[in-house]
Amino acid sequence: MINLLGLTGSLYMLQVYDRVLPSHSIPTLTVLSIAMAGLYIAYGLLDLLRLRLLARIGRRFDTSLQPAVFALSVSLPLRSGQEGTRLQPIGDLDQIRSFISGSGPTAFFDLPWLPFYLVGIFFLHPLLGALATAGAIVSVLLTLVAEGLSRGPAKRAMESSISRKQLSDAGRRNAEVVRALGMGPRISGLWQDRSEAYLANQLRISDVVGATGTVSRTWRMILQSLMLGLGAYLVIEGEASPGIMIATSIMLARALSPVDLVIANWRPWVSTRQSYGRLKQMLRNADAQEAPLTLPRPRETLSVEAVSVGAPGQQKPIIQNVAFSLQAGAGLGIIGASASGKSTLARALVGAWTPLRGTVRLDAAALDQFDEEALGRDVGYLPQDIELFEGTVAENINRFNANASADAVVAAAEAAGVKQMILRLSDGFQTRIGEGGSALSGGQRQMVGLARALYGDPFLVVLDEPNSNLDGEGDIALGAAIKGVRDRGGIVVVIAHRPAALANIDTVLVMAGGTVQAMGPRDEVLAKMTRPANVRPEQAPGGERAPTVVTLHDRRP
């Protein structure tokens, strides 16, 4: 209807020139003007309705994909590693919604009506139709040129935009380090280099689209004048009326206006097309995984079967052939030098990293057989880098579960020995902690993270360096928390450098070079770890004795 009503101006001028002017009829002009105004009002209302519909379609499109896209954005770094961090599914969704909600799609709705207008011009006069068709072909070719010239720069601009955003986010997250180490100017220089690359590509796209748009508009004005000139010639020759001359010029302008609009919206259209392709591929890969069945909550064992794990997106293993089994109520401490693979093993135990080979099982079921939310209910995890979220202390402890009971939150805080500390905060459990828990000290963040790990009495609790920021009281509370998990029949795995974290642990596993070097009763393994090797002291340069070598005697897995 919008495109049919777009003929109003042409028909109005045709009637004015061919009926009103020859007859000098004021009533005819009045009636035609009233009809014209009514049709244009209808045109405006329908165009407004179309824009409002597009805005709501964009919103519904966004709303329907929000859960899947957010889940995708969270899981990509765990599946694809560094490459996954370069993909921005939420940004892609925003780009698609923004384009759908704007005026860009209207150009593509109107563009198919171009032949209809050309046929209308042919009906008025074949020569005028031929000229209009030739002009339309040139305009369409200009659009295709814009496509070809802007495709490469658009892709590079997207990549450089993601790169500069990643650097900006990293600088914001590590603002304290940047300031303390005087890295601000250097980080700023890196960001400026990436911004220059981004702006250069954006400038290239702008130049291409701007030049193509200018040429298209110039050509359209020339074409309209040529249409008027040819129309005038036909009027002089008596082959057309003045009304036809004016009407065909207006129809041509209406026919070519979508082409100009397409060129003007070409840059967002190219970005939207790229975003749609990426998002479609990512969602297709995610949908390929079938939803697991709901399994009973684990209650008996944790089994690690010849597990080899590498960083997401990498095939080189960090740990290899790790195998052990724990029964309900067990406590395992994992020790070893830095970079021995302890944290990698922790990530595999909680399902954050998928093993390259082997399987981690809870009660005989592999972790990937559990629904993600159900598995999270039965797993407690305190990572080495404590990540808290903007919100209240209670929300962080209950994992932002809107249906969580206050009793469960308080119980988790008591289990972690952090209840009194929380109550001393300005608003107690309702204290807002800021982004990353910036309102709390390092020890407070670690204890709140421990309470979050213990929330809901999970069967498996994995704690990675849980006492790195704790004082003596914190160590005591941590020991009590570990004992509490074991007493209720849960399994605790503690990764530690400080012996205080192993106070209520009965079994210790030693890692070195990504493999298990020893596993057994805590006191026995620790004694072997500290037993001096049977080596003969050698004289060091300068007459000093060489340091005593400490080695691990029992290296059986």
163 has a pLDDT exceeding 80: no
Distance from the Cα of residue 468 to its chain's centroid: 31
Q: Judge if 11 and 115 occupy the same domain.
A: yes
Task: Please tell me the predicted confidence (pLDDT) of residue 555.
Answer: 34
- Rounded CA-CA distance 514/334 in Å is 12
For residue 15, the domain's CATH number is 1.20.1560.10
**383-428 pLDDT per residue, tens:** 888 888 888 999 999 988 888 889 999 999 999 999 999 999 889 9
pLDDT band with cut points at 50, 70 and 90 for residue 539: very low
Q: Judge if 279 and 325 occupy the same domain.
A: no
Residue-number span of the structural domain to which 141 is assigned: 2-284
543 has a pLDDT exceeding 70: no
E-state strands within 257-300: none
**18-58 pLDDT per residue, tens:** 888 888 889 999 999 999 999 999 999 999 999 899 989 98
Task: Please tell me the predicted confidence (pLDDT) of residue 35.
Answer: 93
Task: Please tell me the predicted confidence (pLDDT) of residue 453.
Answer: 92
Residue from 190, 200, 146 nearest 168 by CA: 190
**426-444 pLDDT per residue, tens:** 899 999 988 777 788 888 8
- Rounded CA-CA distance 415/222 in Å is 80
- Rounded CA-CA distance 399/106 in Å is 44
Task: Please tell me the predicted confidence (pLDDT) of residue 33.
Answer: 93
Lowest mean pLDDT among 52-61, 278-287, 379-388: 278-287
Task: Please tell me the predicted confidence (pLDDT) of residue 81.
Answer: 55
Question: Does residue 236 fall inside a structural domain?
Answer: yes
Q: Judge if 49 and 116 occupy the same domain.
A: yes
Question: Does residue 53 fall inside a structural domain?
Answer: yes
Question: Does residue 477 fall inside a structural domain?
Answer: no
* DSSP-based three-state secondary structure for 520: strand
- Rounded CA-CA distance 530/227 in Å is 97
What residues contact residue 261 under an 8 Å CB cut-off, 6+ apart?
103, 104, 106, 107, 110
Residue type, 445: R
238 has a pLDDT exceeding 90: no
Per the CB < 8 A criterion, the answer to whether 482 and 504 are in contact is yes
Q: Judge if 211 and 306 occupy the same domain.
A: no
Q: Judge if 274 and 316 occupy the same domain.
A: no
Q: Judge if 175 and 267 occupy the same domain.
A: yes
Sign of the dihedral through C-alpha 388, 394, 395, 397? positive
Tokens 């070809």 belong to which residue?
Answer: 148
260 vs 449, residue with greater confidence: 449
Strand partners, 357: 308
Strand partners, 382: 463
Per the CB < 8 A criterion, the answer to whether 91 and 274 are in contact is no
Per the CB < 8 A criterion, the answer to whether 254 and 78 are in contact is no
Q: Judge if 119 and 194 occupy the same domain.
A: yes
Task: Please tell me the predicted confidence (pLDDT) of residue 291.
Answer: 63
Half-sphere exposure in the Cβ direction for 189 (13 Å, CA): 5
Residue type, 107: A
Task: Please tell me the predicted confidence (pLDDT) of residue 542.
Answer: 42
**468-509 pLDDT per residue, tens:** 878 888 888 888 999 999 999 999 999 987 777 788 898 999
Q: Judge if 315 and 235 occupy the same domain.
A: no
Per the CB < 8 A criterion, the answer to whether 440 and 449 are in contact is no
362 has a pLDDT exceeding 70: yes
Q: Judge if 211 and 349 occupy the same domain.
A: no
Question: Does residue 439 fall inside a structural domain?
Answer: no
Of 82-96, 178-192, 255-269, 491-505, highest mean pLDDT? 491-505
Q: Judge if 353 and 501 occupy the same domain.
A: yes
Lowest mean pLDDT among 29-33, 246-250, 322-326, 347-351: 246-250
Task: Please tell me the predicted confidence (pLDDT) of residue 287.
Answer: 61
pLDDT band with cut points at 50, 70 and 90 for residue 544: very low
The angle that helices 26-80 and 89-101 make with each other, rounded to 10 degrees, is 170
- Rounded CA-CA distance 396/125 in Å is 74
Residue type, 482: I
Task: Please tell me the predicted confidence (pLDDT) of residue 37.
Answer: 94
Q: How many domains does the chain have?
A: 2
Residue type, 30: T
SS3 labels along 25-58: CHHHHHHHHHHHHHHHHHHHHHHHHHHHHHHHHH
**188-213 pLDDT per residue, tens:** 888 788 888 888 887 887 787 778 77
Structural tokens at position 57 = 């379609």
- Rounded CA-CA distance 493/460 in Å is 8
Q: Judge if 245 and 324 occupy the same domain.
A: no
Q: Judge if 174 and 307 occupy the same domain.
A: no
Question: Does residue 306 fall inside a structural domain?
Answer: yes
